[in-house]
Amino acid sequence: MNVEMIFSQIISKKKNLIYQDKKVTAFYDKYPKAPIHILIIPNILIPTANDVTKENKFFFMHMFYAATKIAKKIGIHKTGYRLILNCNKHAGQEIKYIHLHLLGGKFLGPLLSK
């Protein structure tokens, strides 16, 4: 089963979710890169940031809105958190289903390594 199908199942099963509304769903990353690593995905398939359109842009913007709500809910909004959205191979996007990473829970260091 591919990851895109797994994301679709997560949305429909509504299990182990941190947040869900009509536009987005959030859950903990299976392979966390920080003490807190949450994925926020739109409830419709948008493969990459390049695929955001006039018709679906509200899902894209709503992922960022949901991230701020989640950060407050789990208590990292004051110490800080990082939001990452990768687009295609050179940025590190491995899954062709747009997703926003919400990372926190410790000092995360510089954004890019050399």
User: Where in the sequence numbering do the catalytic residues fall?
Assistant: 99
Q: What are the E-state strand segments in 1-114?
A: 19-20, 24-28, 36-42, 81-84, 100-104
d(CA 85, CA 39): 10
Phi, psi of 60 (to 5 degrees): -60, -50
